[in-house]
Structure 1
């Protein structure tokens, strides 16, 4: 420390000579009549740590050079790169008191020297880190102890009809944090049925513990190799689960993080139709469709590159199916490391029941994936897996041709006891100034072989997508493809033209759409055309009426719908709607709604077919349950979080609300328990501010936390209405107290040399504390009980204080 101090004194001319370090000479030479108001009074200073501004503060200075923090005045001017945890730590140090000059013993947090300058009102704290350069690292530094916790995410998707035709899916994921490792348990159950015939599938497909390291990760337990392979995007070995271990590279702890992107998935709906999204024979999402071509809502689908099956349901029957690929790759965050890879091995196990995968044995299997940054614009991937009498090899390439052009290709070869399968995908995507365009080709060749029969199945699809934003608030969507498969064969096209305008002050949308495609399951060609108009009514576009008419399979139909959006954050209802559709074959009455409450979110829809007297009901519900710090909390499922803070808000005024802001954005907190999503790994600095009512202070004002996946922490936040007290304090003998430090339930201040105290206090507080000083005892002062709680400032001539004995303090 002496060595660092000598260097510090050499390069810091603001310090006085060593013999004058007790207090700078220009301070010690103050006139005697000024010292009475200078020492033991509030002084406003700028506090610096190693030449970096921390905050503005009110301090008290003794003539012997002792400095003590009274309160922080303002922190709004500071740079955002100063950690609030560091500010809070040094605020605590200053509250305990420091002395001007060199620190030789009991030096907190590496403190080496303290300097106070009267000429510019600056207090500088120098530590042993002053001469040490920051260690440059690309990775986030994790603390040894991160909060534990448990989080459980549940989602239910279901659809059923009065004809006992149904499909449903339940997906539950439990994430926890323990001893620096994160745990994951994933369960699904899904099925379809009609009458007494049904097919169910249930499985516990993941139950593992994982440790994130700088640049890599380790996983132990039951896991699905094709799911969540960290930053390697090449597919693994199907949807089988393995009991074993996995190691791989990881960008999780990289400080630089890029955003993800996705190619759109276009689907075509009919009048009152529904889309079901299936992944690995699991129903993961359902969506109500409008007529014509539209984009699938993929916001709630998982990240990664994987195939999905979309079933179009109309009147309880599957009228079309299509394959699509979700493209949400993670960015290549570290171009200096051109290899990403993972290896895994273990015994393949199935914990559950399935009508698709019935394994008679549990073979040992090994595999791995590797992605190579062959060029800054080209990523090449290769995957392989080997088990008893089964092999799989896959390769892919992701090429960024230009800023606006991307090409994706993928080929997989799978050889099992049942079949030999070859799958090829080529997808070209281009951004254009007024929209986007895409070309794709998908091919599947399967050769089934067993002891009795041999068969072959081939499917080919060539297609294009075009989305344009035209002048005059007009947009165009076009999809065309040629399919060659068992269910249907031929050329098909979909087109949709929409325009937004204002008529008599109302936002109005016009939409013209049409489609002409091969019929599903070798039926006649599927064709239709529709024209619709939607008008937003006052107030604030919360009410919308839409009408549509068209042809569906040469049958006329028309529909009328009403939609209501409250637009109020306090209202758990997000949308409510109803409609009626009439055709020569049927009349359909439908309803829909969506909620986003504190503890539950979801949507539901119903359809009633009058001629057939049939009903269809479907929807999605989701919820997150969290446990941490011995407390339990819940949130709606729209909070896609992997770590959370349970914030218990205690406010003495029901009109007060708290706003939590930080890396996660802004979130309004209510009285009681609230769930605040927290970003993983990075240090999160959360600021709490009060909304509603004057003179309200929040304690604590900020909180810093660093979370592991599955971490949950409990924090109690109190919002108190305060007032400002201006008055004089006297002891039991009637003597006026001066130059003493006084604290309330919310703040602290110094009594000035004239005996005047200015201090903030909670409206419910009736007791002040005077700290012990130079042999003078600690004191307690009772405030009048009849003060008006609505007043912001109270002038009190005399507040009586009495000494507190040691026994009273303990009691």
Structure 2
């Protein structure tokens, strides 16, 4: 320090030596616009030295970041003289662009001499402390236990085959985070004179969540929850995990809030003043932010996935002051960096199993262990009395940022080994970056591939490989695909076989048959393009293939050519819209003659929701067959349904084949307020939201609009309650507003309960939203007295609001329909008939009405009280209201 002062002194003019030696001052130290307090410093013409740097270091650590590396860097810098950089202070350079800002990779300051303030700047790798936010959702405290059941019915019928399936899922809330769940299936089939019926219970268990991280489950259960967020999303794609009766414990991701665990790398910006920041990816504007001074972290949740460079343009007072470039990687919401596990013990429940007694007992477990944020290992095992299996897998996700590659790649490899020589392996790669590449290979083998004995989840040997590459160029999209499949024998249901297979029609569809050795490989390539001409969408494509099947004597080569046209229309200003499409496809190959297929369809939507539809279509092949069908689809407050009727005509055989199919799905809720019928959810354990609309009127004319998660809208009438089945373990937004579809002559106003609300519930819970609605009736007309003179200066007694229009004209509002209007003028009372002549939107035109005098005793009691109140006010000199609502 003495050497520095000496060098400065040698350059200072005579008489200013004291300044060169420095002065001890108390200065206000700010870190990105936030004051850290007053600190003592020795300040000369070029440098600043803090007297007690440890106190300043502690203040930075407390308010900004407690990273040990930052403390080391601060200690090394603040114990040494720091350049003043006073020329960067806004008060010294006339508020030049980017003043009061310093970019540094260590520690730097700007000394504002005019304001006795020091602005402190740090290496940008040290980010400020984040506000403590929970990474877990919190259950809606207003939700209550209820029983919710979803049911779905499907049927199909033709001359030879009829099938009916009914599935149901029921959830009953028991504790704050525990519930009972059961799902079942009924299947009835008839093929000619053969019948088959089956009733199966897939799950019947109780589950209790603990501390939002773990769960206990007991009863009969299959493996679906293990592979979802409900059970930790542990992917064991080859390990045989069937249905058991027993106990399961494990970790869960159901409560994790993905917005708090986003995989995007942090993007921070350091501002000395309030500013606007525009974030660009190349020339694409991703978002704009208006931020206060300070060290700010941008909200990148809406940024697209990938690994790329972001350019930040900082504007102060609408002027660009600087540009910063930062790398960014977003791999989406990933759970690879969390430890997950499950363990279960029980008895197998498998109708095809040949095991009995103690042989059916099984212990199974699995875990996923993170190695890095993007790499994890998964392992699992199944242990039986006489057999065991284990599977190991590795999952990796990576974002590239190297020139043309700036997309996301996911990869997975797994290996299965089991007693008896069972082996299996899977390799999978997916990459998406404008172009996409996917590769999938799976193989399974047992020592005796041609054995028809049933193993635990395995039969025969097979191998499958699929490769697909697609890439856009100009306005076209090209794709190349390759697949190879081989089998040494395996069990399959007859209904799974292709129509060309001789065994497909050889028996009942539900029969399980053994498929012998087969091998096939296929190459396919094509290009397609979509464009619009005069509001008509046109899709074209051409492709070629080479296919070799072991069941065929020679290689087959061929191609496809297709074109389709579609356009939409709307009738006038109403809600009815339609869609029409036409298409043709030509196919030719060495094994068969050329085949031309063609189709046409028309659909008509009844309302704007797109959930109620009527339609029909025709489909033909050459001139030999022609099929026609018509369908209807409806969705409403009490469920969703569809019905289709079709007829296939074979011109060669001169034969018609008529068939029909349909479905209906709904949900049922029972809680302490009653029983409600509503829409189907998704068939998984669910929760519910009910919306009750209360109105003073007895009729149900008023409506409110309910939107769930921004998808679809439903109008609920007054004095009714609607049920909405919503996914559990998932935040659901409920938006309630006045309906735009007001009945003619009536408008509605929500007095209580409008707005948006977010709910998060476990299965078997219900959240009630109670809405109060007031109806408004608007009347327009003209009043005459008994002498056919305009009735003026009258005060109505039974209206909500009143506007005189002169010469007896009036406009008024009421909360309910009325047949008589009562007025008071001075000490006289009048009765006017309100006969509606016409209605336009929400206005009721009554035309000219003649008013007759009436005594106070002959008007209704409510209007008598109103008149007495107004008379008292007039007697006290109070201002008389134009109109008052009567209760």
TM-score bracket, shorter-length normalisation: 0.5 to 0.7
Q: Does 1:762 align with 2:815?
A: yes
Q: Does 1:357 align with 2:401?
A: no
Determine which of 471, 488, 491 is the counterpart of 1:468: 471
Q: Does 1:389 align with 2:386?
A: yes
> Partner residue of 1:60?
none
Partners of 2:814 and 2:132 in 1: CA distance: 44
How many residues are paired up?
544
Q: What is the DSSP-based 3-state SS (H/G/I as helix, E as strand, rest coil) of the residue aligned with 2:679?
A: strand
Partners of 2:754 and 2:615 in 1: CA distance: 39
> Partner residue of 1:408?
412
Shift of 1:400: 0.9
CA contact (8 A) 2:631 2:645 kept: yes
Determine which of 480, 485, 492 is the counterpart of 2:482: 480
> Partner residue of 2:579?
542
> Partner residue of 2:560?
530
Determine which of 612, 629, 632 is the counterpart of 1:591: 629
> Partner residue of 2:667?
624
Determine which of 248, 251, 257 is the counterpart of 2:250: 248
1:89-108 pair list within 5 angstroms:
none
Q: Does 1:346 align with 2:346?
A: yes
1:481-520 pair list within 5 angstroms:
481-486=483-488, 488-503=518-533, 505-519=535-549
Q: Does 1:440 align with 2:443?
A: no
Shift of 1:233: 2.0
Determine which of 675, 687, 706 is the counterpart of 1:660: 706
Q: What is the DSSP-based 3-state SS (H/G/I as helix, E as strand, rest coil) of the residue aligned with 2:763?
A: coil
Shift of 1:246: 1.3
String of CA shifts for 1:541-563, please: whole Å, max 9, x gaps: 62222233333642323323223
CA contact (8 A) 2:703 2:748 kept: no
Shift of 1:257: 5.0
1:201-280 pair list within 5 angstroms:
201-213=198-210, 214-225=212-223, 227-228=225-226, 230-235=231-236, 238=240, 240-257=242-259
> Partner residue of 1:712?
766
Partners of 1:369 and 1:496 in 2: CA distance: 43
Change (3 A) 1:562 1:761: closer
Q: What is the DSSP-based 3-state SS (H/G/I as helix, E as strand, rest coil) of the residue aligned with 1:800?
A: helix
CA contact (8 A) 1:604 1:620 kept: no
Partners of 1:646 and 1:709 in 2: CA distance: 15
TM-score normalized by structure 1? 0.57
Partners of 1:580 and 1:634 in 2: CA distance: 36
Partners of 1:477 and 1:232 in 2: CA distance: 32
Change (3 A) 1:761 1:404: same
Q: Does 1:700 align with 2:732?
A: no
Determine which of 168, 173, 180 is the counterpart of 1:177: 173
String of CA shifts for 1:559-581, please: whole Å, max 9, x gaps: 23223242733675436232131
Partners of 1:639 and 1:687 in 2: CA distance: 23
CA contact (8 A) 2:149 2:169 kept: yes
1:85-234 pair list within 5 angstroms:
137-142=134-139, 146-156=143-153, 161-164=158-161, 170-180=166-176, 181-190=178-187, 194-196=191-193, 201-213=198-210, 214-225=212-223, 227-228=225-226, 230-234=231-235
String of CA shifts for 1:462-519, please: whole Å, max 9, x gaps: 22112333422x3334321122224532320234433223345532222334444344
> Partner residue of 2:43?
none
CA contact (8 A) 1:645 1:677 kept: yes
CA contact (8 A) 1:397 1:409 kept: yes
Change (3 A) 1:370 1:591: same
Shift of 1:461: 2.2
Partners of 1:609 and 1:512 in 2: CA distance: 29
- Please, which runs of 5 or more residues in structure 1 have no aligned partner? 1-132, 262-328, 726-743, 748-758, 767-782, 804-811
Larger Rg: 2
String of CA shifts for 1:285-344, please: whole Å, max 9, x gaps: xxxxxxxxxxxxxxxxxxxxxxxxxxxxxxxxxxxxxxxxxxxx9954594xx3101111
Partners of 2:549 and 2:664 in 1: CA distance: 33
Determine which of 443, 458, 461 is the counterpart of 1:458: 461
Change (3 A) 1:637 1:408: same
String of CA shifts for 1:128-187, please: whole Å, max 9, x gaps: xxxxx99854333446774122222334455555344x6765432222212332221122
> Partner residue of 1:375?
372
Determine which of 612, 619, 622 is the counterpart of 1:580: 619
Partners of 1:643 and 1:345 in 2: CA distance: 29
Shift of 1:425: 1.2
Partners of 2:159 and 2:586 in 1: CA distance: 27
Q: What is the DSSP-based 3-state SS (H/G/I as helix, E as strand, rest coil) of the residue aligned with 1:539?
A: strand
Partners of 1:367 and 1:616 in 2: CA distance: 46
Partners of 1:709 and 1:151 in 2: CA distance: 8
Larger relative contact order (CA 8 Å, sep ≥ 6)? 1
Q: What is the DSSP-based 3-state SS (H/G/I as helix, E as strand, rest coil) of the residue aligned with 2:258?
A: coil
String of CA shifts for 1:18-77, please: whole Å, max 9, x gaps: xxxxxxxxxxxxxxxxxxxxxxxxxxxxxxxxxxxxxxxxxxxxxxxxxxxxxxxxxxxx
Change (3 A) 1:205 1:388: farther
Change (3 A) 1:410 1:791: same
CA contact (8 A) 2:452 2:460 kept: no
Q: Does 1:688 align with 2:736?
A: yes
Q: What is the DSSP-based 3-state SS (H/G/I as helix, E as strand, rest coil) of the residue aligned with 1:221?
A: strand
Shift of 1:394: 1.6
Partners of 2:398 and 2:144 in 1: CA distance: 44
Q: What is the DSSP-based 3-state SS (H/G/I as helix, E as strand, rest coil) of the residue aligned with 2:686?
A: coil
Partners of 1:359 and 1:620 in 2: CA distance: 37
> Partner residue of 2:599?
560
CA contact (8 A) 1:631 1:714 kept: no
Partners of 1:157 and 1:527 in 2: CA distance: 39
Change (3 A) 1:538 1:357: same
Partners of 1:488 and 1:566 in 2: CA distance: 47
- Please, which runs of 5 or more residues in structure 2 have no aligned partner? 1-129, 264-330, 400-406, 489-516, 571-577, 780-797, 802-811, 820-828, 837-841, 845-862, 872-887
String of CA shifts for 1:739-762, please: whole Å, max 9, x gaps: xxxxx9999xxxxxxxxxxx9983
CA contact (8 A) 1:215 1:249 kept: yes
Shift of 1:443: 1.0
Partners of 1:723 and 1:690 in 2: CA distance: 15
> Partner residue of 1:104?
none
Partners of 1:562 and 1:646 in 2: CA distance: 38
String of CA shifts for 1:399-439, please: whole Å, max 9, x gaps: 11334211112222344xxx653221111111132x31112
Partners of 1:690 and 1:488 in 2: CA distance: 63
Shift of 1:346: 2.1
CA contact (8 A) 2:679 2:725 kept: no
Q: Does 1:427 align with 2:428?
A: yes
Partners of 2:567 and 2:452 in 1: CA distance: 66
Partners of 1:476 and 1:594 in 2: CA distance: 36
Partners of 1:378 and 1:183 in 2: CA distance: 36
Partners of 2:379 and 2:643 in 1: CA distance: 40
Partners of 1:745 and 1:340 in 2: CA distance: 66
Change (3 A) 1:763 1:500: same
